[in-house]
Amino acid sequence: MALDEYKPQSGDAELENKELKYVGTTPDRPDGLDKVTGKARFGADLSLPGMLFGAIVRSPHAHARIVKIDASKAEALDGVKAVVTRADFATGLEGEYGFVLENVMAGEKALYDGHAVAAVAATSALIARDAAKLVEVEYEVLPHVTDVDKAMAEGAPVINAAYADASVPEGMHPNVVRHHESGHGDVEAGFAEADLIVEDTYVTEAAHQGYIEPNACVAQMGSDGKGELWVCTQGHWYVQKHCAALLGMETAQLRVTASEIGGGFGGKTTVFQEPVALALSRKASRPVKLALQRSEVLRATGPTASASMDIKIGMKKDGTITAAEGTFRLQGGAFPGAPMEFSAMCAFACYDLANVRQVGWDVVSNRPKQAAYRAPGAPMAAFAVESVIDTACNKLGLDPLEVRLKNAAHDGTKASWGPRYDQIGMVATLEAAKAHPHYSAPLEPGQGRGVASGFWFNHGGETSVSLSLSEDGTCQVSVGTPDIGGSRASMALMAAEVLGIPYENIRVTIADTATLGYNDVSHGSRVTYASGLATIKAARAAVEKLCQRAAAKWGIEEDAVKWEDGCAVPSGANAGDFDPLPLAEITATMGSTGGPISGHFEATPEGAGVSFGTHIVDAEVDQETGATKIVRYTVVQDAGKAIHPAYVEGQYQGGAAQGIGWALNEEYVYGEDGRLQNTVFLDYRIPVASDLPMIDAVIVEVPNPGHPYGVRGVGETGIVPPLAAIANAVSNAAGVRLKSLPMNPPKILEALEDQAGDA
């Protein structure tokens, strides 16, 4: 199909064209009052009668065989009620369940510094911590490796010889466990057409999601095989399924309630201490609270992967990219799963390229199992690719936004990762960035400006929503996706839109696993899209019943009633025959006109729309100290449709701030001994208020045809461009290209000195 013939397809076309009354407004969030008064209850905020406190014993070695665990001294301590080891969990688990169990509690080997090897429960947190120190573990220390390139090299210690899957070609080191390759066209022919070829290697360190609330839960298990779990998580059905499997219990017997969640960013899409708390509770026959300490969060929950990447781009003098090639080696800790395929697939996704090839390698090492972090895999790839594009623009004397516009993907472009794009907003974000006053504002001496674009897929996933009306005409909505960014407000706005009743008359609750159907995790920027779509459809189902009741009351056909502005209205031949019947009048008598009125929706929506963003950054580099200050920051991103614009801005600003941290400060520092050196926030330094400027957020709206109001996810794309945009700004300010993150003062000074040495 020729490009000019291409018409955007609209797979599950859902898009409505109507005036919106509630969607797009910015009412106060329903959880606001609880959160400003200290009433909101997070993972560690629940206490139960007879509750014990847990503590985990962790390996101090990066790689070691566990020879013997002697818990007798711990068990003898007054107040200790249970000690568990791997022997207290299910056996024979395979695949992902097997990996999760191995990570939650080590079996034969400790695979990284901080790997859990045992746990205790006691009558107080202090006693539990004392007891953990009394558990004696005998280790046989093994050689270790924590760097991605070293882990792939000949002679590197093997983490697990059985990890590699069928995708890995023969002859690779056993630590290379998965392989990806994709693309189209002929890159060699493309490079031959180029006037300039830029080829370079870029590296990023692992960064942690850095949620402020450490992972925490309260578990209660009885001898009857039933369990209750209160936990801060992005997905309580995931927790239910995995904990049940790891404990060898039936899924339905474990009821999981999601607490308020103090940040997740992908890091709370899996389980760590939850199965341990349940095992302790089962053994002690008492409730157990298990809250991780910050050092445990950093050592033993999942940061993102670290990366080493080779990029080659060919460009004509006019800025046309003739070919692009990238190799992405990602280290994801001691288990398979580093998101190298997303690095590869997202790397060149912003551009319309005739010749593109991308290769990914998933490499294991003696580090904690990586977990998802906001658009997993994409930010590091964008860092490498957008830096190389910027280098090419500088060499050819071209404007970086014009070059991006020249090569931008548009409706119908064959994406670097395979299919053709539907309706997309890449060009729109670039045009908005170009038109923004920031882009033409003068720079002070010592400052540099950087721009970069980024892409993320977004996701649908299994979704259930249940909505019910009360006699007084108010509405309650149960959703199953934990609210990590203001989604309760967004759901209420969408329900208000369909029902035609005020936002304030709707209460949205995150239901527990016993009271609603299955829901996929709050990840993949899916909540406002998928739970939103489900809320809209559940509300429409209720509206249908409301119209039926009105039809019955009026004695007319059901299809002669339409729903307008919160009222049933006779239409067609019956138009004007009866006064509009408001929702509250119908619900007032619903018990005697056919029963309670509710609506529900269960499906796996498949119409998620991809999204693009472009960021502009001004940075100032102190040539003497190497310190960087971000002086101005603008985020432009396609939201499809902003349901609650203030909360969309919040997502953009938060993504940018996390990107600034990853670019300038944050990194996992491992010593020669394989131990993590920076296990507290003082040393793992996330951005503080005085590090940042205001962050201008520009919402572009190119509707997603797969959602009634055009919603695309907004949570993740915002962290994709910052690493590159800041690297470009810093490089332009310092006059030397930075190719390794974080760009902390020592690294910038080193780059400046190298350059001075070269000159």
Partner 1 sequence: MTPRVQVHLWSALRRHTGGAEVVEVEAATTGQLLEALRRDYPGLGPMIDAGVSVAIDGRIYATSLSQPVTPENEIFILQRIKGG
Partner 2 sequence: MSKVHVTTSINGDSTEYLCDPRETLLDVLRDQLNLTGAKEGCGTGDCGACSVTMDDRLVCSCLVLGVEAEGKEIKTVEGIAEGETLHPLQRKFIEHAALQCGVCTPGILIAAKSLLEKNPDPTETEVRYWLAGNLCRCTGYDKIIRAVMDAAAEMREAA
Q: Which residues bind partner 1 (CB under 8 A)?
A: 1, 8-9, 11-12, 165-167, 169, 179-183, 209, 265-267, 269, 339, 341-342, 345, 357, 372-376, 415, 417-422, 456-462, 523-526, 604, 606-608, 706, 713, 715-716
> In the window 251-270, what residues touch partner 2 (CB under 8 A)?
260-265
Answer for the pair 347, 326: CB distance below 8 angstroms, yes or no: yes
The residue within the footprint of partner 2, chosen from 656, 698, 723, 730 (CB under 8 A), is 656
Least Cβ distance, residue 474 to partner 2 (angstroms):
21
Applying CB under 8 A, the site for partner 2 has a residue count of 60
Q: Compute φ and ψ for 553, nearest 5 degrees.
A: -65, -40
Tokens standing for residue 48: 């139960």
- Please choose which of partner 2, partner 1, none residue 394 contacts, taking the beta carbon within 5 to 8 angstroms, the exact cut-off set by kind: none
Amino acid sitting at position 78? D
Amino acid sitting at position 94? E
Q: Binding marks (x or -) toward partner 2, 682..721, rule CB under 8 A?
A: x---xxxxxxx-xx--------------------------
Specify the residue, 227 or 412, whose C-beta has the smaller distance to partner 1: 412
- Please choose which of partner 1, partner 2, none residue 654 contacts, taking the beta carbon within 5 to 8 angstroms, the exact cut-off set by kind: partner 2
Least Cβ distance, residue 9 to partner 1 (angstroms):
4
Q: What is the DSSP letter of 556?
A: S
Tokens standing for residue 521: 């995790």
Cβ atoms < 10 Å from Cβ of 42 = 19
The residue within the footprint of partner 2, chosen from 486, 532, 570, 705 (CB under 8 A), is 486
Specify the residue, 566 or 705, whose C-beta has the smaller distance to partner 1: 705
- Please choose which of partner 1, partner 2, none residue 38 contacts, taking the beta carbon within 5 to 8 angstroms, the exact cut-off set by kind: partner 2
Q: Where are the beta strands (DSSP E) in 490-646?
A: 506-510, 561-564, 567-570, 581-582, 598-603, 611-621, 628-638
- What angle, 0 to 180 degrees and rounded to 10, lies between the N-to-C axes of helices 487-499 and 532-554? 30
Cβ neighbours for 668, distance < 8 A, ≥ 6 positions apart: 205, 206, 207, 208, 303, 306, 367, 676, 678, 684
Specify the residue, 400 or 485, whose C-beta has the smaller distance to partner 2: 485
Amino acid sitting at position 483? D
Cβ neighbours for 536, distance < 8 A, ≥ 6 positions apart: 494, 495, 497, 498, 708, 709
136-141 and 176-184 strand pairing:
unpaired
- Please choose which of partner 1, partner 2, none residue 396 contacts, taking the beta carbon within 5 to 8 angstroms, the exact cut-off set by kind: none
17 binds partner 2 (CB under 8 A): no
Specify the residue, 500 or 607, whose C-beta has the smaller distance to partner 1: 607
Cα distances from 691 to residues 38, 442, 629, 686, in angstroms, run: 27, 22, 7, 10
- Please choose which of partner 1, partner 2, none residue 368 contacts, taking the beta carbon within 5 to 8 angstroms, the exact cut-off set by kind: none
Specify the residue, 227 or 368, whose C-beta has the smaller distance to partner 1: 368
Specify the residue, 172 or 646, whose C-beta has the smaller distance to partner 2: 646
620 binds partner 2 (CB under 8 A): no
Least Cβ distance, residue 339 to partner 1 (angstroms):
8
Answer for the pair 452, 719: CB distance below 8 angstroms, yes or no: no
Least Cβ distance, residue 757 to partner 1 (angstroms):
40
Cα distances from 88 to residues 84, 97, 217, 332, 543, in angstroms, run: 6, 15, 19, 27, 51
Least Cβ distance, residue 482 to partner 1 (angstroms):
13
Answer for the pair 104, 246: CB distance below 8 angstroms, yes or no: yes
- Please choose which of partner 2, partner 1, none residue 324 contacts, taking the beta carbon within 5 to 8 angstroms, the exact cut-off set by kind: none
Cβ atoms < 10 Å from Cβ of 595 = 9
Answer for the pair 631, 448: CB distance below 8 angstroms, yes or no: no
Q: What is the distance between the alpha carbons of residues 99 and 91, in angstroms, rounded to a whole number?
A: 12
- Please choose which of partner 1, partner 2, none residue 31 contacts, taking the beta carbon within 5 to 8 angstroms, the exact cut-off set by kind: partner 2
608 binds partner 2 (CB under 8 A): no
Specify the residue, 145 or 506, whose C-beta has the smaller distance to partner 2: 506
> In the window 193-232, what residues touch partner 2 (CB under 8 A)?
209-214
168 binds partner 2 (CB under 8 A): no
Return the CA Rg of the chain: 27
Cβ atoms < 10 Å from Cβ of 559 = 10
504 binds partner 2 (CB under 8 A): no
294 binds partner 2 (CB under 8 A): yes
- Angle, vertex CA 666, rays to CA 665 and CA 670, nearest 5: 120
Beta-sheet strand order (sheet of 356-363): 176-184, 356-363, 321-331, 306-315, 196-204
Specify the residue, 292 or 711, whose C-beta has the smaller distance to partner 2: 292
Least Cβ distance, residue 329 to partner 1 (angstroms):
15
- Please choose which of partner 2, partner 1, none residue 126 contacts, taking the beta carbon within 5 to 8 angstroms, the exact cut-off set by kind: partner 2
- Please choose which of partner 2, partner 1, none residue 601 contacts, taking the beta carbon within 5 to 8 angstroms, the exact cut-off set by kind: none
Least Cβ distance, residue 211 to partner 2 (angstroms):
6
Q: What is the distance between the alpha carbons of residues 712 and 225, in angstroms, rounded to a whole number?
A: 42
287 binds partner 2 (CB under 8 A): no
Q: What is the DSSP letter of 355?
A: S
Q: What is the DSSP letter of 134?
A: H
Specify the residue, 493 or 610, whose C-beta has the smaller distance to partner 2: 493
Helix (H, G, I), strand (E, B) or coil at 16: coil
- Angle, vertex CA 316, rays to CA 313 and CA 318, nearest 5: 125
- The interface region with partner 2, picked from 172-180, 218-226, 551-559, 649-657 by CB under 8 A, is 649-657
Binding interface with partner 2 (CB under 8 A): 26, 28-29, 31-42, 44-45, 47, 124-126, 209-214, 260-265, 291, 293-294, 484-486, 646-647, 649-650, 653-654, 656-658, 680-682, 686-692, 694-695
